[in-house]
Amino acid sequence: METPYAIEMLHITKRFPGIIANDDITLQLKRGEIHALLGENGAGKSTLMSVLFGLYQAEEGVIKKDGKEVTIHDPNDANDLGIGMVHQHFKLVECFTVLDNIILGVEPTKHGFLQKDEARKKVLALSEKYGLQVDPDAIVEDITVGMQQRTEILKMLYRDNEILIFDEPTAVLTPQEIDELMKIMKNLAAEGKSILFISHKLAEIMAVADRCTVLRKGKYVGTVETAKSSPEELSAMMVGRNVNFHVDKKPAHVGDVVLDIQHMTVASKTHKKDAVHDVSMKVRRGEIVCIAGIDGNGQSEFVYGLTGLEPLKSGTITLNGKDISKASIRQRSTSGMSHIPEDRHKYGLVLDYSLEDNLVLQRYFEQKFTDRIGFLRRDNIRKYADRLIDEYDVRSGQGPVTAARAMSGGNQQKAIIAREVDKDPELLVAVQPTRGLDVGAIEFVHRKLVEQRDAGKAVLLISLELDEVMDVPDRILVMYEGEIVGELDPKTTTQEELGLYMAGAKRDEVKA
């Protein structure tokens, strides 16, 4: 009797310089099952799928198809083995029709002329068989996200793929579209297709998957049958109980409201659903409030709306009693908002500028740094930079004249924090301030945030790191699909409970 497994990935290990992305991971996909792959950001899901798709070569371990060992050098090999993938961001040609997109790359031709009739028949038959409603002649940019996704699925089916990988397929869908996708996936499995479903949404996994493999920090945690498991168990497996260094802080002395957001909605750039929907919250003097959530649940857009990088669709933002909903970025900054941005290379620094020029990026226009005619006061800038470099221990090769590009990530971040904190803000917005930093730098950043809070400032932290979410703030707000779904007290809550909110398995009515 042959093996029940369509694809087996046995003891896969993939190393990158300085990190083991996949450490001895085993994943066995049965024929005709829906198998979920669950894990936090950075758990190694994408790396594992890239190995299966031939984008990376594993250092150790074997891949078997129908019990036979295979080697996959590139995506073409994967295609030949019947492995297809629906990417999180669709790979469709926007100005082509649905049919053209489906046959792209495998166009049926006769004497060099396209034979679309045959293809159309096959597509229509497939769409009927699996309940995938599409209009083959519609232009992709005109159709809904749901139909675009069905087009992607038909692309795989048209190529007679047997193993279908769905990479976080529900991220961009409305609830109704999600329900429909779940039905489609069950149909496909019933027809004998094997499905790998990558997700971190527990409810969906519980609803549709037969089994679930959990990864954490590059390691294999286990495989469970969802019918015999619970969201709580999966959440605990995903998050783990890891020891973490603790942030020392005194009890908070909470004062007046500094930031008051009411019914804020921000449109999304990539899909029609609003990225942030009707969010209301307050941040007071002397407290650190953390917005927790899994990446891509509207946190970035929330920050864009708050700091003025994107306009609000509706709602109001009040900073210290002043309505800043329509204020420019500069006005918000001079009204007392500091912003440590999510991406320090994209937003935080002008990399080709010197360290000193970057340190005055938010205040170069002040009288202290520019004289009446418009000339920069270079000597004042130098003095100011020297002071910040000294106070915040920003290390670089040539001091204030070092190009920001030539500095280490940790010191770049220190420079940004020095700049934003020294502005003496009323509200400090820190977005993933420890991303990509080593332990020492992380500690420094956390200490600075707590110092600001103790100095009576309002601090709003946006973080994806569970350790940080549990340790640093005085209050946690959980964001899920652009909405605040829970308010938690880090002293009393557990990572498991937090995980349930983050994965959308639990929600409360939160009022600000």
| SS3 of residue 419 by DSSP | helix
Strands 5-16 and 60-65: antiparallel
Return the number of the residue (362 or 452) whose C-beta is nearest another protein. 362
Nearer to another protein, 101 or 354 (CB): 354
- Tell whether residue 413 is a contact of another protein (CB under 8 A): no
Q: What are phi and psi of 100, to 5 degrees?
A: -60, -40
Tokens linked to 311: 């306009």
- Compute the least distance from the CB of residue 53 to another protein, in Å: 31
Can you list the alpha helix ranges (DSSP code H) found in 58-110? 75-80, 98-103
**Binding string, residues 334-363; x marks residues near another protein by CB under 8 A:** -----x-x----xxxxxxxx---x---xx-
- Decide: is 364 part of the binding site for another protein (CB under 8 A): yes
For the beta carbon of residue 152, count every other beta carbon within 10 angstroms. Answer: 20
User: In angstroms, what is the minimal distance from the CB of 405 to another protein?
Assistant: 10
**Interface with another protein (CB under 8 A), residue from 316, 325, 370, 493:** 370
From candidates 145, 182, 252, 376, binder to another protein by CB under 8 A: 376
Rule CB under 8 A: say whether 204 interacts with another protein: no
Point out which span in 17-25, 217-225, 323-331, 470-478 binds another protein (CB under 8 A): 323-331
Q: Which long-range contacts (CB under 8 A, 24 or more apart) does 472-476 make?
A: 472/247, 472/288, 472/290, 472/446, 473/287, 473/288, 473/289, 473/290, 474/252, 474/254, 474/287, 474/288, 474/289, 475/287, 475/288, 475/289, 475/290, 476/289, 476/290, 476/292
- For residue 495, state whether it binds another protein (rule: CB under 8 A): no
Cβ proximity of 115 and 108 under 8 Å: yes
Pairing of strands 219-225, 211-216: antiparallel
Distance CA 433, CA 415 (A): 12
Please enumerate in sequence order all residues whose Cβ is within 8 A of that of 283, keeping only pairs 6 or more positions apart, or say none.
257, 258, 259, 289, 427, 458, 459, 460
| 374 binds another protein, rule: CB under 8 A | yes
DSSP 42: T
Tell me the closest approach of the beta carbon of residue 400 to another protein, in angstroms.
Answer: 15
x/- letters, 378..407, toward another protein (CB under 8 A): x-----------------------------
> Residue 149 or 362: which CB sits closer to another protein?
362
Please state the closest distance from residue 83 (CB atom) to another protein, in A. Answer: 37
Residue 504 near another protein by CB under 8 A:
no
Cβ atoms of residues 307 and 331 within 8 Å = no
Footprint of another protein on 120-149 (CB under 8 A): none
Q: Which of 114, 329, 401, 455 binds another protein (CB under 8 A)?
A: 329
Count interface residues toward another protein (CB under 8 A).
29
Residue ranges that bind another protein, judged by CB under 8 A: 307-309, 328-333, 339, 341, 346-353, 357, 361-362, 364-365, 370, 374-376, 378
